Amino acid sequence: MTASQSPGPTGAEPVNPTADWKALRGDVEGIADVAAERGRSFVDAARAHATDYVDQRKGDAARSVTDLAKSVRESSKTFEAQPNIRAFFDSAADGLEHLGTSIEQRSFSEFYEDAEAFARKAPVAVAVATFLTGFVVARFIKSTSVAPITEPYSDHRL
């Protein structure tokens, strides 16, 4: 070795730098594959957890709708002297019972597909509903914010 050459990190020159880069590249690709696989399994687990949660909440929602239908049917009994009004309440109760049964029997993916199909069929209605929801939420947030305190005697001098 001459004075102008410096030894490698181990004191000797590397035997084949191209082989070292190929080995490093293989190691990085292996790590990337493991990370991608773990990411996919994490997403699958999160999706399964979310689906289980939605299915549980779906049952609660179905029971709530069914209970509401029972309440509407009970309240229709007060209108025995007025058959038209009682028929209206009974019809509403039947519709709510049907909705509760539908919620109980259908899966989350079916609800999602129905919502997606509705959004494709009526994009203007979805846009208007989104705008109105945003407007209502903004008004709610604005109304619940704390108003600034104004001093009644701000121009009073001591």
Share in percent of the chain as helix, strand, coil (round to 5): 75, 0, 25
Looking up tokens 């039947």 gives 94
pLDDT given for residue 94 in this prediction: 92
CA distance 130 to 124: 10
pLDDT given for residue 70 in this prediction: 92
pLDDT given for residue 102 in this prediction: 87
pLDDT given for residue 76 in this prediction: 84
pLDDT given for residue 156 in this prediction: 56
Express each pLDDT in 87-107 by its tens digit.
Answer: 888 899 999 999 889 888 888
Query: C-alpha angle 98/100/101, rounded to 5°?
Result: 65
- CA distance to 16, 49, 65, 102, 121, per residue, from 91 (Å): 84, 37, 14, 16, 28
Both tokens assigned to 127: 């846009």
Segments of the chain with pLDDT less than 70? 1-15, 145-158
φ, ψ for residue 141, nearest 5 deg: -65, -40
pLDDT given for residue 2 in this prediction: 47
